[in-house]
Amino acid sequence: MKIGTIDLGEKPLFFAPMEDISDPSFRRLCKEFGADMMYTEFVSSDGLIRDAGKSLRKLELSAGERPVGIQIYGKDPSAMVEAAKRCQEANPDLIDLNFGCPVKRVAGKGAGAGLLQNIPLMLEITQKVVQAVTLPVTVKTRLGWDETDKPIVQLAEQLQDCGIAALTVHGRTRKQMYQGISDWTLIGEIKKNPRMKIPIIGNGDVTSAMIAKEKFETYGVDAIMIGRAAIGRPWIFREVKHYLKTGEMLPTMTVLDRVALAKRHLSYSLNWKGGITGVFEMRQHFSNYFKALPDFKSTRTRLVTETNPETIIEILDEIAERWAGY
């Protein structure tokens, strides 16, 4: 599969852009476990053109994570064009347009999935960004706004006609947010449409290697994007790749393996964001790395409230000793 000239091989796995999750430290881990295509956290076009520090920080990329795309969102065509140009200066491999974020502060203001209620504006933004940059431009969106409005099959053709190089579709509507079961039926219809020539990436509820294989086989997608299932489990990319290749499941990651991984992740986070911020942004990862351990509540509380990195390492060593058999 190729996006423009980017060769991603057969049945590649994408790591989804997620706010406060897909930062450089976690992207690095997911890459180490086999993710083929990485994305930044989504970047506000308005924040970027105002030189907002948080937005600019998201443009910082590392050589080891390539290929990597910068994802931007917004509803003003001129702001999106200017933001795309600034992103191009950061030298990513592609630029992705976020037309799928369902949260109120984005979609409620007419950006992200909010543009599913204004298709002409979505297409205008897409076409103008494609024309403004030389990098491949891709789009991530949803099936539609709600159950009564799912224009994605026709919309896919329209977006392709705007010149995008690939399309990712999350199998839910905006109204669903992240609830219920994702529906890949329309994703399959897009892929079967003889007019569609660009790669189609499916997204939604891929939580295991077996599910990934079923999605590839049933819906014929060119690639799969994994998001929330990678939180606390970045090794899911390795599991999927191994299963697709051999038909066998890898052994479960032990607690000792997860402790070593958590330490490595903490090191990456501290190096990237410094002491206190690096620790704060690890908390949700720590909690997820050790899900389902028995009698873990008090230890989890200590782990996610401690601010001293050296003490956190001591707590991780305690976890390794106490739950070594899991």
Q: Could you write out the DSSP letters of every residue in 36-66? A: SBEEPPPEEHHHHHTT-HHHHHTT---GGG-
CATH number of the domain within which 85 lies? 3.20.20.70
Q: Are residues 271 and 310 in the same domain?
A: yes
Same domain? 110 vs 205: yes
> Do 78 and 180 sit in the same domain of this protein?
yes
Residues 218 and 262 in one domain: no
DSSP class of 119: H
Q: Which of 202, 225, 246 is the last residue of a domain?
A: 246
Tell me, yes or no, whether 176 and 102 share the same domain.
Answer: yes
Q: Tell me the one-letter amino acid at 129.
A: V
Q: How many domains does the chain have?
A: 2
301 and 192, same structural domain? Answer: no
**Residue listed under structure tokens 């956190």:** 312
Do the Cβ atoms of 144 and 150 come closer than 8 Å?
A: yes
Asked whether residue 184 falls in the same domain as residue 276, the answer is no
Amino acid at 200: I
User: Are residues 38 and 151 located together in one domain of the fold?
Assistant: yes
Our answer to whether residue 87 is catalytic in this structure is no
Give the pLDDT confidence score for residue 60 in this predicted structure.
86
Of the residues 246, 269, 293, which one is the last residue of a structural domain? 246
**Residue 105 main-chain phi, psi, to 5 deg:** -70, -15
- Could you tell me if 255 and 319 are in contact, meaning their C-beta atoms sit under 8 angstroms apart? yes
Per-residue DSSP letter, 181: -
Residue of 213, 271, 216, 209 lying closest to 237 (CA atoms):
209
Query: CB neighbours (10 Å) of residue 39?
Result: 28
Helices (H), the chain: 24-32, 45-49, 53-57, 77-89, 104-107, 119-132, 152-161, 185-192, 209-219, 236-246, 255-273, 275-280, 283-289, 297-305, 309-322
List the CATH number of the domain containing 314: 1.10.1200
> 149 and 284, same structural domain?
no
* pLDDT value for 275: 78
Q: Which of 30, 87, 101, 162 is catalytic?
A: 101
How far apart (Å, rounded) are the C-alpha atoms in residues 37 and 77?
26
CB atoms within 10 A of CB 225: 23
End-to-end Cα separation, the chain, in angstroms: 39
Domain endpoint, select from 246, 277, 304: 246
The DSSP code for 195 is: T
DSSP symbols for 217-228: HHH--SEEEE-G
- In this structure, the answer to whether residues 75 and 204 fall within a common structural domain is yes
For residue 143, give the amino acid letter: L
Q: Are residues 117 and 235 in the same domain?
A: yes
Of 33, 40, 7, the C-alpha closest to 199 is 7
Tokens read off for 221: 């997608």
pLDDT tens-place values along the chain, 326 residues long: 999 999 999 999 999 999 889 999 999 999 999 999 999 999 999 999 887 777 888 888 988 899 999 999 999 999 999 999 999 999 999 999 999 999 999 999 999 999 999 999 999 999 999 999 999 999 999 999 999 999 999 999 999 999 999 999 999 999 999 999 999 999 999 999 999 999 999 999 999 999 999 999 999 999 999 999 999 999 999 999 999 999 999 999 999 999 999 999 999 999 988 878 889 989 989 989 998 899 999 999 999 999 999 999 999 999 999 998 88
Amino acid at 278: G
Question: Which domain does 291 fall in, by range?
Answer: 255-322
Asked if 217 and 315 sit in the same domain, the reply is no
